[in-house]
């Protein structure tokens, strides 16, 4: 039998950078997924294969070799491939920890760009953990179910394993990315405490990837340095960002009774995004590429803000229900003419899901 698990990426809706200083932030799943298919093979085949479809790399290890080198694997890759090496090491560690040394073929494919702040590594770890656990002895799932189904009682276990994978890749992750990817919907987090928010508002965003790499640690350090130089002002800015996070949660949890009410709420969220972006610019985390996207979307009277660390990465543009497909197509064409990459995504959807292939 073959199992496929998929897990969504994430965006920060509000509160990035302020969250480092003890303020609230709000993150949401997006309906762009990383999928992991796992097929166990007969015991006499004696190999574990990993196929990374999107980067065109295949790995194959004999069980004997894995047992030999697992503890030294981090040193077995060239420095330039450190990101890939950590991802492969996370795979081998999760695989052998959950399933032992059973021969198998694992295929990974993703709709998420790597390293763009959309939670691609967390989605990878969550989908991988879910697929492995689905075929492990302690987890009893109804394998006769057809189509995609959402994890329930098993979700906590998937999240714990995924967090361990994220530690291998990132060292000291917050746990937010894997939690959003596992449980879906919206999560508010503050000082290490996460609260799940049930959004009642169907939202769509245009996500524009600047393709500009960013140094998250340096950006965070620069904000802290600015705070030490201007403590009073920065405190006010960070508190204002937190107020925006709180208002986001209030609006998306409210029930819009009709289209007029929904439209008014979308307008409020657009204003919050514009204010949030202004505050992020004021603390020094914008970038020329981000400003180009902001100026372009402003021509279409659409609200945008950076998401994540800033300094490049991705920009969110709210797509209200009244905006036509033709307008969005025109905007995307203009943004892509700058060399940016665009995705449209639904916000706050389902978390990790599993599907069993009954044909094999």
SS3 152: coil
Question: What is the rounded CA–CA span in Å between residue 95 and residue 70?
Answer: 11
Q: Are strands 341-347 and 203-209 parallel, antiparallel or unpaired?
A: antiparallel
Question: For residues 134 and 326, is the Cβ–Cβ distance under 8 A?
Answer: no
- What band does 77 get if pLDDT is binned at 50, 70 and 90? very low
The more confidently predicted of residues 43 and 219 is 219
From 66-75, 117-126, 135-144, the region with the lowest mean pLDDT: 66-75
What is each CA distance from 234 to 72, 146, 273, 282, in whole angstroms? 45, 53, 19, 9
Q: Which helix (H) or strand (E) holds 58?
A: strand 57-62
User: Does 235 score more than 90 pLDDT?
Assistant: yes
- What band does 81 get if pLDDT is binned at 50, 70 and 90? very low
Percent of the chain with pLDDT over 70: 96
Q: What pLDDT is recorded for position 138?
A: 72
C-alpha 314: how far from chain center: 12
- Considering the candidates 44, 58, 177, 357, report the single residue annotated as catalytic: 177
Beta strands in 112-253 (DSSP E): 149-150, 186-190, 193-197, 203-209
Q: What pLDDT is recorded for position 78?
A: 42
Of the candidates 27, 26, 20, which has an alpha carbon nearest to the alpha carbon of residue 243? 26
Q: What pLDDT is recorded for position 345?
A: 95
Beta bridge partners of 188: 26, 195
From 2-16, 142-156, 184-198, the region with the lowest mean pLDDT: 142-156
What dihedral angle (degrees, nearest 10) is formed by the CA atoms of 164, 220, 120, 315? Answer: 160
- What band does 79 get if pLDDT is binned at 50, 70 and 90? very low
User: Does 38 score more than 80 pLDDT?
Assistant: yes
Q: For the chain, how many residues are written? A: 360
User: Does 206 score more than 60 pLDDT?
Assistant: yes
- What band does 268 get if pLDDT is binned at 50, 70 and 90? very high
> Domains in the chain, ordered, with CATH?
2-198+350-357 (3.30.230.10), 204-346 (3.30.70.890)
Question: For residues 200 and 252, is the Cβ–Cβ distance under 8 A?
Answer: yes
Q: What pLDDT is recorded for position 83?
A: 67
pLDDT tens for each residue of 159-177: 999 999 998 888 778 889 9
The more confidently predicted of residues 174 and 4 is 4
**What's the token pair of residue 16?**
């990035």
Query: What average pLDDT does this structure show over 327-342?
Result: 97
The region that residue 284 occupies, defined by phi over 0 for left and psi between -120 and 50 for alpha, beta otherwise, is: left
Question: For residues 296 and 208, is the Cβ–Cβ distance under 8 A?
Answer: no
Q: What pLDDT is recorded for position 71?
A: 65
- What band does 72 get if pLDDT is binned at 50, 70 and 90? low
Query: What average pLDDT does this structure show over 187-203?
Result: 91
Residues 6+ apart with CB under 8 A from 250: none
pTM above 0.85, yes or no: yes
- What band does 305 get if pLDDT is binned at 50, 70 and 90? very high
What is each CA distance from 330 to 213, 243, 300, 327, in whole angstroms? 26, 34, 10, 5
Question: What is the rounded CA–CA span in Å between residue 51 and residue 109?
Answer: 9
Question: What is the rounded CA–CA span in Å between residue 312 and residue 115?
Answer: 11
The more confidently predicted of residues 137 and 183 is 183
Percent of the chain with pLDDT over 90: 68
**What's the token pair of residue 226?**
């600015």
Question: What is the rounded CA–CA span in Å between residue 277 and residue 309?
Answer: 12
Q: Are strands 104-110 and 47-52 parallel, antiparallel or unpaired?
A: parallel
Q: What pLDDT is recorded for position 325?
A: 95
Please confirm, yes or no, whether 177 is among the known catalytic residues.
Answer: yes
Query: What average pLDDT does this structure show over 3-20?
Result: 95
Of the candidates 100, 268, 91, 251, which has an alpha carbon nearest to the alpha carbon of residue 162? 91
Q: Rg of the chain's alpha carbons, rounded to an integer?
A: 21
Question: For residues 355 and 3, is the Cβ–Cβ distance under 8 A?
Answer: yes
Question: What is the rounded CA–CA span in Å between residue 153 and residue 147?
Answer: 19
- ∠ CA 245-301-114 to the nearest 5 degrees? 60
Q: What pLDDT is recorded for position 91?
A: 93
Q: What pLDDT is recorded for position 69?
A: 73
User: Does 121 score more than 50 pLDDT?
Assistant: yes
Question: For residues 179 and 199, is the Cβ–Cβ distance under 8 A?
Answer: no
């Amino acid at each position: 039998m073959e199992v496929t698990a998929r897990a969504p990426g994430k965006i920060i809706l509000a509160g990035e950078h302020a969250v480092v200083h003890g303020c609230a932030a709000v993150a949401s799943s997006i309906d762009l997924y990383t999928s992991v298919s796992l097929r166990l093979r007969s015991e006499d085949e004696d190999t574990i294969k990993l196929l990374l479809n999107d980067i065109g790399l295949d790995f194959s290890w004999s069980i004997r070799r894995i047992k030999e080198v697992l503890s030294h694997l981090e040193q077995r890759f060239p420095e330039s491939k450190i990101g890939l090496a950590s991802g492969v090491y996370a795979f081998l560690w999760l695989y052998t920890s959950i399933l032992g040394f059973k021969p198998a073929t694992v295929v990974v494919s993703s709709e998420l760009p790597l390293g763009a702040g959309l939670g691609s590594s967390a989605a990878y770890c969550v989908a991988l953990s879910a697929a492995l656990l689905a075929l492990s002895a302690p987890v009893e799932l109804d394998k006769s179910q057809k189509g995609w189904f959402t994890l329930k009682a098993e979700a906590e276990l998937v999240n714990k394993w995924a967090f361990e994978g994220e530690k291998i890749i990132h060292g000291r992750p917050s746990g937010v990315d894997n939690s959003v990817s596992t449980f879906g919907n919206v999560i508010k987090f503050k000082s290490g405490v996460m609260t799940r928010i049930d959004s009642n508002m169907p939202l769509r965003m245009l996500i524009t990837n600047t393709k500009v790499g960013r140094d998250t640690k340096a950006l965070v350090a620069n904000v802290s340095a600015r705070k030490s130089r201007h403590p009073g002002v920065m405190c006010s800015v960070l508190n204002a960002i937190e107020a925006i996070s709180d208002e986001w949660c209030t609006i998306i949890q409210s029930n819009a009774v009709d289209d007029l009410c929904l439209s008014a709420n979308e307008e409020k969220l657009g204003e919050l995004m514009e204010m949030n972006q202004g505050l992020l610019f004021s603390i020094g985390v914008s970038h020329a590429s981000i400003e180009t996207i902001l100026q372009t979307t402003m021509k279409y009277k659409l609200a945008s803000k950076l998401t994540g660390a800033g300094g490049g990465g991705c920009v969110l543009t709210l797509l209200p229900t009244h905006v036509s497909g033709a307008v969005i197509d025109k905007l995307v064409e203009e943004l892509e003419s700058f060399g940016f990459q665009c995705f449209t995504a639904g916000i706050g959807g389902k978390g990790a899901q599993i599907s069993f292939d009954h044909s094999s």
